[in-house]
Amino acid sequence: MTTQMYLCLGLFVFLIGGYVLAKRLHTTNGVVALCAIILTSFSGLVEPKAVLANFSNANVLLITGMFVVAAGFNRTQAVSKLSHLIIKIAGGKFTNMLAGYLLITFVLCNLIPSPVAVFTIMAPLLAASCEAAGVSPSKAMFSLGIVAVGTCGVLPLGTGATMFAQQNAYLESYGYTEYSMSLLDPFKGRILSAIVIIIYATIIAPKLAPASPTIPLEMGGGKAQSAKEPLPPLQEFLGYFLFAITTLGLVFSKQLGVANWQIAMTGAALEVVTGVLKPKEATASVPFMIILMLVAALSVGGAMVNCGLGDVIGNAVAISLGDTKNSYIIGAAFFVIPFILTQFMQNQSVMNIFVPIVVLTCKSLGCNPVGPLVLLNAACLTAFLTPSATSTVPLMMGAGGYDQGDLLKMGWLPSLIICVISVVCTMTFIPAF
């Protein structure tokens, strides 16, 4: 270990420790990430110009643009119209009604880049429908929560259209460009588990849920957002059109000969120019904390590669795996450990901690990192056993009247099912070797 390696290791530990302790320190992951970026620029491990360039990384621009485009779609009346249609089709039957809401939730959490936003939109509507059907909301809210969290980003649309770019940025930053993730890789690895989650949430979860709230119902953040005036007909149409055309543009970007970031940023600009979003709404939709976390990972990752620490860490984890060539063992390792950790800390933090470990370990093993990266994402989205796992869980507990015991009772079985299906499917369709 050289002096530069120790310095880089200190930066890496600072980043990890900051994410873990951010709440206790009364700060945010965004502040921790910004501090890491600044420290990297002063460390001498990466040129300040290179750190600055990470803010204009093509994948950062792509992700930023897609969040704005998704916000434009969310501004339309699509959610309200779909919900009323489902209630009419269900004919008053609880199971049919729940299935309809869960299908809408699945679609929305693949279009809107936030399970919290999706749950906040759907929970009041589902609660009202449960009341009309004479059923306690406690029978339905866990189902809504696990679909909103567990199926997020499965389809190659909206949120899912950005994951591959983000992971490729990590592969680039850690110097492992022999492999790259395609737009459809997350879909191939996670679609079966998503289908199983929806079926489980519709048929089995309500049977395990308490018949009445264990604690007093408190919608809290699950209350409907203040109603906004409907868009004019032209802007309403453009909200749908721009979202659809941007998503299709990402799917066919290679055939069009246009970079993904150009498509996303053009769509974002048009959302404002055409009046679908006001400038303030577009700015508010950009998740600056996530952007800072990505830039921090790119900066610290570049430092790890430059000083050789990445290879040292990757070799150590590879040795612990025993140089196995078994794709399923590798995949299980990178699902189970993050899954356990994500129950005790925010899933986005676990994701940021483990991405470099996954990439560098696979680099040392000489195997394809795409499958393990997909599994890491799936593990961090199997986050519904404790309120610390994701911000959606406290909302779910308030809307359904659940306590910690209810979460464990309802959540252990779907967690086990998701783990087995995810590892088997992902490492079969995207083998490590």
One-letter identity of residue 325: K
Please classify residue 156 by burial: count the beta carbons closer than 10 Å to its beta carbon, then call 0-12 exposed, 13-18 middle and 19+ buried: buried
The CA distance from 361 to 342, in Å, is 20
Residues contacting 367, CB < 8 A, separation 6+: 325, 327, 330, 432, 433
Mean confidence (pLDDT) of the chain: 83
Residue 222: per-residue pLDDT: 37
CA-wise closest residue to 298 among 167, 129, 139: 167
Q: Give the 3-state DSSP-derived string for 176-219, with helices as H, strands as E and coil as C.
A: CCCCCCCCCHHHHHHHHHHHHHHHHHHHCHHHHCCCCCCCCCCC
CA–CA distance, 138 with 402 (Å, rounded to integer): 7
Tokens 């299935």 sit at which residue? 99
Q: What is the pLDDT of residue 251?
A: 66
- Residue 37 pLDDT > 50: yes
SS3 string of 278-294?
CHHHHHHHCCHHHHHHH
b (16+ CB within 10 A) / e for 92-122: eebeebbbbbbebbbbbbbbbbbbbbbbbbb
Please count the CA atoms within 13 angstroms of the CA of 50 that sit on its side-chain side.
16
- Using a CB cutoff of 8 Å and minimum separation of 24, what contacts does 246-249 make? 246/65, 246/66, 246/69, 247/157, 247/158, 247/161
pTM value > 0.95: no
Of 51-65, 75-89, 418-432, where does mean pLDDT reach its minimum? 75-89
Tell me: the pLDDT tens digits for 183-214? 888 898 899 999 999 999 999 999 999 988 88
Q: How far apart are CA 360 and CA 311, in angstroms?
A: 6
Which pLDDT band, with edges at 50, 70 and 90, does 182 fall under?
confident
Q: What percent of the chain has pLDDT over 70?
A: 91
Both tokens assigned to 329: 């063992």
* CA neighbor of 75 nearest in space, from 290, 249, 232, 273: 232
pLDDT digits (tens, 9 = 90+) for 161-175: 777 877 888 888 778
Give the pair of three-digit tokens for residue 359: 């990439």
**366-402 pLDDT per residue, tens:** 889 999 999 998 998 888 887 777 778 877 888 888 8
At 82 the pLDDT is 65
Q: Give tens-digit pLDDT for 207-258.
A: 999 988 887 776 543 344 445 688 999 999 999 899 888 877 876 777 888 8
CA–CA gap between residue 374 and residue 331 (Å, rounded): 9
Q: Is 321 exposed, middle or buried (0-12, 13-18, 19+ CB in 10 A)?
A: middle
Residue 277 pLDDT grade (very low, low, confident, very high; cuts 50, 70, 90): very high
**pLDDT of 22 over the 70 cut:** yes
Say which residue the tokens 């264990």 belong to: 214
Instruction: Name the pLDDT band for 426 (thresholds 50, 70, 90).
Output: very high
CB 421 within 8 A of CB 414: no
Widest Cα–Cα separation across the chain: 69
Residue 78 banded pLDDT, cuts 50, 70, 90: confident
pLDDT band at 343 (very low <50, low <70, confident <90, very high): confident
